[in-house]
Amino acid sequence: MLKIGILGGGQLGRMLLQAAANYPVETYVLENEDDCPAAHLCHHFTKGDIKDHDAVLAFGKGLDAITIEIENVNIEALEELESQGVKIFPKPSVLKTIKNKILQKEYYRDNQVPTAEFVVSDSKQYVSSMEHFLPFVQKKATGGYDGKGVQVIKDAKELDNAWDGPAVLEKKVNIEKEIAQLVAINEKGETALYPPVQMVFDPYLNLLDHQIAPADLNEKVLWKVEAISLAVVRNFRSPGIFAIEMFIDKQGDVLVNETAPRVHNSGHHTIEAHYSSQFDMLWRIMLGYPLGNTDAILPSIMVNIIGAEGCSGKVQYDGLAEVLSIENAFVHLYGKKETRPGRKMGHVTVLSKDKQELLHQSNKIKRTLFARSGTPSIQL
């Protein structure tokens, strides 16, 4: 039986392990937090820091393959393991490019992948000199996620809010739609594309509000999305699963925003709504089996269950029974003991042929299901 390790023990690792149970594979997880969402679903749990060179090296010794659920891992250790014959999905070279938003944007430019116009900035002082480039979006080179590390600078007054340190300044795009395209690529270079999904963001929390699959795109746009996605993935020369976030602008142009070289929030719906889920697909790739069927069984909507405002501490769920009574609603709780405002605690996917019905049910879920703590940290 192959031995495969996952760096990180959050919800992505947890769902990956749920899919692993169907395959002949022995699973390993490295994570600092010993009651993390993935800890109880793997065969072997190692407590340790995925950013620490020695911890990752020791974890990987003797494994056949390693994958990641987050990019912020020790890449040097993965390179050493790769040179010793451990397969890494995705390759460390891809992680290096993606982990740093400057290198990632340069990768798109160097490979003729359409992306928003950008300049590289090294300081707040440099940003102040870019008045002629307004309005733009400043993105920290490293460490950002879920909208943290990204800020819009609309006008000259806001130049003062700029962060110091290495960053990308990207022209603000007039976004019509945000979509994500999941692509699977195996070791032979064969690819499979899932239908793109539309992501709708909460303007206040800067988090995904809901996501609809398949996205409503005309044929010409869909064709561009697929061609661009394949170009992004093929030039990485690495097997794995890739989630490519893209903007469709008001002119119908397609621009790559960013790529995640791993299973992704935008693919959660594939668990119930598609024949082969993103998690199933990654095991097929790592274990050398044929790629799965990416077709949708039915259209779907997915909403994240986010820790309620003003609540920190031991979690309790309100409205769970009511949501479980919705036809074709699939609830996933990630097993996190503690809730915090904005923390991803779970998600719900609803399947239906009828798009209006999907929107109706997702609104109902958002009004009904809450992750709260017993005692609010702020008196409301």
Residue choice 6, 173, 179, 222 for contact with ligand ADP (CB under 6 A): 173
Is 178 a binding residue for ligand ADP by CB under 6 A? The answer is: yes
CA distance 29 to 61: 13
Binding segment for Mg ion (CB under 5 A), chosen from 19-27, 32-40, 197-205, 244-252, is: 244-252
Torsion on CA atoms 226, 218, 279, 29, rounded to nearest 10: 70
Residue choice 170, 232, 254, 370 for contact with ligand ADP (CB under 6 A): 170
Q: What is the DSSP letter of 30?
A: E
Shortest reach from residue 68's CB to Mg ion, in Å: 17
Is 175 a binding residue for ligand ADP by CB under 6 A? The answer is: yes
Shortest reach from residue 172's CB to ligand ADP, in Å: 4
Asked whether 4 and 67 are in contact (CB, 8 A), the reply is yes
Angle between helices 92-99 and 101-110 (to 10 degrees): 110
Is 146 a binding residue for ligand ADP by CB under 6 A? The answer is: yes
- Nearest Cα to 181, choosing from 226, 114, 247, 240? 226
Is 69 a binding residue for ligand ADP by CB under 6 A? The answer is: no
CA distance 262 to 282: 9
Please give the size of the binding site for ligand ADP, defined by CB under 6 A: 18
Mask: binding to ligand ADP, 206-245, rule CB under 6 A, as x and -? ---------------------------------------x
Indicate the residue among 133 and 201 with the shorter CB distance to ligand ADP: 201
CA distance 351 to 316: 26
Residue choice 27, 257, 294, 362 for contact with ligand ADP (CB under 6 A): 257
Q: Which does 146 bind (CB under 5 to 8 A by kind): ligand ADP, Mg ion, none?
A: ligand ADP
CA 287-291-297 angle, 5° bins: 125
- Nearest Cα to 330, choosing from 363, 352, 353? 352
| Site for ligand ADP, rule CB under 6 A | 116, 137, 139, 144-147, 149-150, 170, 172-173, 175, 178, 201, 245, 257-258
